[in-house]
Amino acid sequence: MKKLCQSPTDPTFVQDPYPFYDTARHTGDFIWWDDYGMACAVSHKMVHAVLRDRRMGRECPAELAPDIPAHLAPFYQVEAHSMLELEPPRHTRLRALVLRAFTSRTIAALAPEIRALCHNLIDQFPSAPFDLLTSYAQPIPVIIIARLLGVPEDRADDLVRWSNAMVAMYQARRTPQIEADAIAATTDFVAFMRSYIAQRRKTPTDDLISTLIAAEADGEKLSEDELITTCILLLNAGHEATVHTLGNGTKTLLEHQITDITEAAVEEIIRYDPPLHMFTRWVYEDVTLGHHHFKRGDQIACLLGAANRDPLAYDKPHVFDPARKGPQNSSFGGGIHFCVGAPLARLELQIALEVLFAMCPGLKLAGAPHYGDVYHFHGLERLMVSL
């Protein structure tokens, strides 16, 4: 496979990674991304295949598990119980318990609340140019997931701060200071969740935390550590990606002067400029994919953003087409790790964009949108608009 070099923190790449993906796909289904020291699936066909191949998974093979430095232990102790990082049978049990609480009926019932929240936030928009991310895109997902879980929404600022600090551990720009901030955030987040779970054990309600406490699968409940990690995962994943997608999507709609927010348009937003661009898999047994051979212990990165712009899967993939038809995009992953929050994310995007463009028909960009240095995520640092 062809070896390519591209710093994931290079400002040009951060603002527009898609030309690099085009170059990568021209070489075949895989490239070797030298900066990551890893093989990367770049075509839609191969990303789809790797995400669903059970000879690969998220959990590091035991014999390759690295020694965790003592100063990072609090962060990785939380990660050790994350269903996002586990394989069956633990993953199966955890996901089954979460899905019992995260039902389609529960999600659908949130629609009026999401709509009311959107109206309330728009009523507070200033008359001068403002950042739509902090005024709209960030509050919606974190308040809704907080309500769903049952944690106080007046702690939303803390939840966002903790989440951002923890998620930064996965970004290419990781530094010792980012690590220190993540450990501090993890410690605070765990303490908050532990005390809140204790309250809910004494006085259960109809919120998600109470449901998770009560839920059982094959006679097993979530342990205390699994409960804490699951709540942190749902809070982190429940807002981080949606913030990016809502920001990226609004930018795209404004640039293309599109205001009709159909379900197809929302799906095209998710394909066109997704919030997560890389998702890795460990190889568990020697395997041949295409013409490439991989051994147990190899890692393969699925470049979701590249798969979503593959011209073999989508006609004119760099064109934003709100009526597009085509295969399922890769933005929510695939296989057993397909995003458990996808229905909630789609609902939030549909309502938030509908309400925004209905209530703010004169909305326009008030400055050049700027993406943050957050790869392997892809989201705006700011989105200045005016009414």
Residue 67 · residue 83 · CB < 8 Å: no
CA-to-CA distance for 83 and 94, rounded, in angstroms? 6
In total, the chain counts a number of residues equal to 387
Across the chain, which distance is largest between two alpha carbons, in Å? 60
pLDDT in tens, the chain (387 residues): 999 999 999 999 999 999 999 999 999 999 999 999 999 999 999 999 999 999 999 999 999 988 999 999 999 999 999 999 999 999 998 998 888 777 888 899 999 999 999 999 999 999 999 999 999 999 999 999 998 888 888 888 899 899 999 999 999 999 999 999 999 999 999 999 999 999 999 999 988 899 888 876 667 788 889 999 999 998 888 778 999 999 999 999 999 999 999 999 999 999 999 999 999 999 999 999 988 999 999 999 999 999 999 999 999 999 999 999 899 999 999 999 999 999 999 999 999 999 999 999 999 999 999 999 999 999 999 999 999
User: What local confidence, expressed as pLDDT, does residue 212 receive?
Assistant: 87
The string of pLDDT tens digits covering residues 167-177 is 999 999 999 99
User: What local confidence, expressed as pLDDT, does residue 177 receive?
Assistant: 97
The string of pLDDT tens digits covering residues 116-156 is 999 999 999 999 999 999 999 999 999 999 988 888 888 88
> What DSSP element (H or E) covers 38?
strand 38-41
CA-to-CA distance for 133 and 381, rounded, in angstroms? 8
Domain ranges of the chain: 2-386
Q: Which two tokens stand for residue 327?
A: 């295969």
Contacting residues for 82 by C-beta, under 8 A, at least 6 apart:
229, 230, 233
CA-to-CA distance for 10 and 259, rounded, in angstroms? 33
CA-to-CA distance for 350 and 369, rounded, in angstroms? 22
User: What local confidence, expressed as pLDDT, does residue 44 receive?
Assistant: 98
Question: Which amino acid is it at 5?
Answer: C
Fold of 2-386: Cytochrome p450 (1.10.630)
User: What local confidence, expressed as pLDDT, does residue 206 receive?
Assistant: 86
